[in-house]
Structure 1
Amino acid sequence: MNNIFIDVDYAQIYKHGQKIGGDVFLLSRNPESNKIVCTLSDGLGSGVKANVLASLTAHMAHKLSFSPIDLGHSAEIIMNTLPVCRERKISYSTFTIADIHYKENMENINVRLVEYDNPLALRFKGSEPISWQKDKRELQREAAFKKEVVQYSQFNMEIGERLIMFSDGVSQSGLGKSLPLGWRTSGVQKYVSELIKSNPDISSRELSSAIVQKANTLDGLCSKDDITAVVVYIRRPRKTVIVTGPPFTKEADEVLGEKIRAFDGRKIVSGGTTALIVSRLFNAKIKVDLSCWSPDVPPASKMDGIDLVTEGMLTLSRVANVLEKKLPVAQLPNDPVKKFVEILLDSDQIHFIVGTKINEAHQDPNIPVEIGIRRTIVGRLRSALENIYLKETSQEYL
């Protein structure tokens, strides 16, 4: 795994009273071409109509970004395709596209940015704002009352840098209430700078959530528009190892212990038998942790040297469900599943050590041993982490 990680995440709050958002964010990684594309689109108005328009724009931008067509030409195609509001004479949707290219060793991370009618993106080196050169192109469309401007820029990002994109629900929050002119981009920039100063290692998930919550607070906790913030952060990876299932032979227990001791990152042990083996290897006692409990899953345990100890199959299955359905962490009950998911979402590289000793209680006799339930669940976890959350995962058997 690489020693540099591109951490991309977003947070969103719908307009008060709406059950569907007019802001749409799409995120995709193409490992074959070493490319990540982030697309944020804001449909005119709110609700279903705005969502349809924003979804159309975002998906079009996303597809074109992965095509051989030049990104600038792609933006013109999108704009010419977008309808113009008959009454207001403005586009039905806005968009921001961040096309991120990198080499296999994660060096030379290059960003091509296209911005149309969304608030201008912000860049930071640590807590200090960065300004950069942008090229402007004007496009006169039929039925539009004025020429429209698309801004293009290209730059390299290094470790410690952040790129922040957001919809006008952020920059216009507080308009006419706490702030006569709204929060504005300058206010967002100042707030982000202060947040990074107080917590230099704040993750993209935490930072985007903080921006959105602040904007909602400025709106009096009654959002006047869809509020969306996206953060791209270049940093050293945060690592987690998940150990589940006892090794195939008892002789391999010592190998497992050495792998856990040598791992530089967070450590999760999932499974009662596995926990007993690790407890013996580490000469550490297992204590039940009743601080996080729910009737749905067995409680977690505490062990010196291990960040989280949980029951096995049931807990792992619940974690996989949460990840696959993209359930909000804040809405989960305070139980081991929530703790497990929080650690995974705060990690960049997750390594699975899967024991191959079969537990007859969890094995269907009608299917071959090599595709047992434990490995199926681990496969689901890896798929969700890689495809939905763009995490890097690896796996080994013992």
Structure 2
Amino acid sequence: MDVDYHQTYKVGQKIGGDVFLQSKESPVNRVVCTLSDGLGSGVKANVLANLTAHMAHKLSFSPMHLTKSAKIIMNTLPVCNERKISYSTFTIADIRSTREGGIAVQLVEYDNPPVLHFSGETPIPITANQIDLHREGAFKEEVIRQSTFTMQEGDRLVMFTDGVTQSGMGKGFPLGWRQAGVTAYISGIIRQNPDISSRELSAAITRKAYALDGMAANDDITCAVVYIRKPRKTLVVTGPPFTPERDEQLAAKMRAFEGKKIVSGGTTAQIVSRLFDTKVKVDLSCWSPDVPPASKMEGMDLVTEGMLTLAKVAVALERKLPLHAMPNDAVRRFVTILLDSDQVSFIVGTKINEAHQDPSIPVEIGIRRTIVGRIRQALEQNFLKETVLEYI
């Protein structure tokens, strides 16, 4: 299950009024996504959206039915005294695997544009039940849309705020891009690239909306995508094995692995080069002054320096640094491969490198297993990736 989102702030704002949260409950293979749009923009909208999103997210993991949770949220949210509308909108998607091997989805929506369901490039209508709410002080009739359906491999859910559907309003589109325009655009993107990831698709949608606004967003623009696909796997090998006798064991594990392979560390790269009888060549096509350049090796997708690169990868994942803001270097390529993967396996060598015990080495570099632990935690908590760790 590939989940990701992309966001652009309203012009002149340094903080967004849209909030997207995602959490995974691993034992039951369950994912909950919450998208909230606060009234207005800036700090006030961000606080309101955060309040709503975190409340919805917390209640979604309770035994309570999702619809009842939505009613509690609605009754808790205040009504704006001036505009007589809710301070925030929300969309909650509860997605979980069934015993039969399918994917069951519960969807609750309030005042956000309707969620889109695609099977391949084909939009699938979502039949929703409407629940009317009557709150004191509300200017308009408030309706919660609730729906339940299943998804299959190749299906996608696309959720977004009104910054997407209203983009281009008064700039070529009298009423904005609208739901139909967004749907047609998504179908075209998937038709051109059937395997496009959630990260790439959500970014393409927000960039298009931003362009329709004349490169000056009239509202916060946020889009999130859930993609059901076969797991994309990556193996990260870092550090030499404890003894040279285990080198062949490492080679066997790497040969048996089906997916992308990253080798991190100069000594590790030399061992892999010897085991696979292939040369390591420096790749100067991407570099920056901050980290050593990446290298090329036949059969490997990426070869990098070790501790410094790993430490910067950990920081990038922990801070959720956008790829477009990162320099074109080994760290960016490393992070790109990790984010495009669903399952990441780490094989960490346990031989002690005396150089890394030097007290003059910066604290942020730390020891290898600590950095790998930080990377795993960031991948699991921030990006819902599955990770496996093995020492050798």
| Fold in common (TM above 0.5) | yes
1:29 is matched with: 24
Tell me, in whole angstroms, the C-alpha distance in 1 between the residues paired with 2:127 and 2:320.
37
Tell me, in whole angstroms, the C-alpha distance in 1 between the residues paired with 2:172 and 2:66.
39
Question: Does 2:292 match 1:298?
Answer: yes
1:220 is matched with: 214
Question: Does 2:95 match 1:100?
Answer: yes
Tell me, in whole angstroms, the C-alpha distance in 1 between the residues paired with 2:30 and 2:254.
32
Does 139-148 or 232-241 show the bigger shift? 139-148
Q: Give the deviation of 1:21 after TM superposition.
A: 0.6
TM-score normalised according to structure 1 size: 0.95
1:307 is matched with: 301
3-state secondary structure, aligned to 1:306? coil
Contact 1:134 1:151 in 2 (8 A): yes
2:43 is matched with: 48
TM-score normalised according to structure 2 size: 0.96
Query: Residues 18-97 of structure 1 correspond to what in structure 2 (within 5 A)?
Result: 18-97=13-92
Q: Give the deviation of 1:249 after TM superposition.
A: 1.6
1:317 is matched with: 311
1:11 is matched with: 6
Opposite residue 151 of structure 2, the aligned amino acid is: M
Q: Give the deviation of 1:209 after TM superposition.
A: 0.4
Tell me, in whole angstroms, the C-alpha distance in 2 between the residues paired with 1:34 and 1:261.
29
Residues 144-169 of structure 1, C-alpha deviations (whole Å, 9 max, x = no match):
12321110001111100000000000
Opposite residue 55 of structure 1, the aligned amino acid is: N
Any unmatched runs of 5+ in structure 1? Answer: 1-5, 366-371
Q: Give the deviation of 1:81 after TM superposition.
A: 1.1
Residue of structure 2 aligned with 1:114, choices 96, 108, 114: 108
Question: Does 2:241 match 1:247?
Answer: yes
Query: Residues 223-302 of structure 1 correspond to what in structure 2 (within 5 A)?
Result: 223-302=217-296
Q: CA RMSD in A?
A: 1.3
2:170 is matched with: 176
Contact 1:140 1:146 in 2 (8 A): no
Residue of structure 1 aligned with 2:368, choices 371, 374, 380: 374
3-state secondary structure, aligned to 1:230? strand
3-state secondary structure, aligned to 2:118? strand
Cα 1:242–1:182, aligned 2, differ >3 Å: closer, same or farther?
Answer: same
1:369 is matched with: none
Q: Give the deviation of 1:87 after TM superposition.
A: 1.9
3-state secondary structure, aligned to 1:323? helix
2:351 is matched with: 357
Residues 107-136 of structure 1, C-alpha deviations (whole Å, 9 max, x = no match):
232110001000000000000000132100
Contact 1:279 1:285 in 2 (8 A): yes
Tell me, in whole angstroms, the C-alpha distance in 1 between the residues paired with 2:283 and 2:172.
44
Opposite residue 381 of structure 2, the aligned amino acid is: N
Tell me, in whole angstroms, the C-alpha distance in 2 between the residues paired with 1:286 and 1:337.
18
Aligned length: 386
Opposite residue 65 of structure 2, the aligned amino acid is: D
Q: Give the deviation of 1:363 after TM superposition.
A: 2.9
Opposite residue 256 of structure 2, the aligned amino acid is: A
Q: Give the deviation of 1:250 after TM superposition.
A: 1.4
Question: Does 2:341 match 1:347?
Answer: yes
Any unmatched runs of 5+ in structure 2? Answer: 360-365
Residues 343-397 of structure 1, C-alpha deviations (whole Å, 9 max, x = no match):
11111111111111111111369xxxxxx81111111111111111110010111
Tell me, in whole angstroms, the C-alpha distance in 2 between the residues paired with 1:333 and 1:364.
29
Does 281-290 or 120-129 show the bigger shift? 281-290
Tell me, in whole angstroms, the C-alpha distance in 2 between the residues paired with 1:34 and 1:128.
26
Q: Give the deviation of 1:32 after TM superposition.
A: 3.8
Question: Does 2:140 match 1:146?
Answer: yes
3-state secondary structure, aligned to 1:235? coil
Tell me, in whole angstroms, the C-alpha distance in 1 between the residues paired with 2:3 and 2:234.
18
Tell me, in whole angstroms, the C-alpha distance in 2 between the residues paired with 1:383 and 1:48.
29
